[in-house]
Amino acid sequence: MNSYSDRGVVLKRSNLGEADKLITFYTKNHGKVAAVARGLRKPTSKRAGSLELFNEVKVSFIKGKGELDTLAEVQILETYSGWRKHLGRVNLAYQLVEVIDKLTPDHQPHQEIFEILRRSLSEIGNLKIDWKLKIENWKLQLLRELGYWPRTKDFTGEVDQFIESLINRPLNSPKLLNRLK
């Protein structure tokens, strides 16, 4: 049995079958990893709270035969609970994880992306009124780190439009607050 452990942040969760969930993490040493969390949707699951969006966790995986690994163990390291009750701050986190999920390939380690993600999630709780500028800066950092924009060249224009042109589809998260009004 091939297994590995890493530190990661939960980027995405989706239902899989009757009792399982597919969890996407961005990990420090393995990049973006999708894993099946067996039985997570059962009412008796003890791991469900550990795998909430944006949680930073220590996680162990069992390598799968195909593309998907299986989640073996999970331990919460940080929940960022200080800002989870504020819808605007949650929206910033959604924007950040959506961009990382869409722009990064599976199993391509990139420790600086992981650090940008962790640092940004930590900073969300301290943001004042300049949040729009801050999220634009985080997205631009990601674009530069991933090689989509030169580090030495200033960016003029709409960052979201540029990202949407890269992924050939609209981003969902910037429109989240408008849908809730």
The whole-angstrom separation of Cα 146 and Cα 133 is 20
What is residue 31's predicted lDDT score, i.e. its pLDDT? 97
What is residue 174's predicted lDDT score, i.e. its pLDDT? 75
Helix, strand, or coil here: 28? Answer: coil
The whole-angstrom separation of Cα 114 and Cα 56 is 11
What is residue 179's predicted lDDT score, i.e. its pLDDT? 57
> What domains can you pick out in the chain, each with its CATH number?
3-78 (2.40.50.140), 87-180 (no CATH)
Burial annotation 23-38 (CB, 10 A radius, 16+ → b, else e): bbbbbbebbbbbbbbb
Burial label for 158, CB within 10 Å (0-12, 13-18, 19+), is exposed
The whole-angstrom separation of Cα 111 and Cα 146 is 11
What is residue 67's predicted lDDT score, i.e. its pLDDT? 78
H or E element at residue 177: helix 176-180
Per-residue pLDDT of the chain (181 residues; tens, 9 = 90+): 599 999 999 999 999 999 999 999 999 999 999 999 999 999 888 888 899 999 999 999 999 887 789 999 999 999 999 899 988 889 999 999 999 999 999 999 999 999 999 999 999 988 876 788 888 999 999 999 999 988 888 888 889 999 999 999 999 887 765 655 4
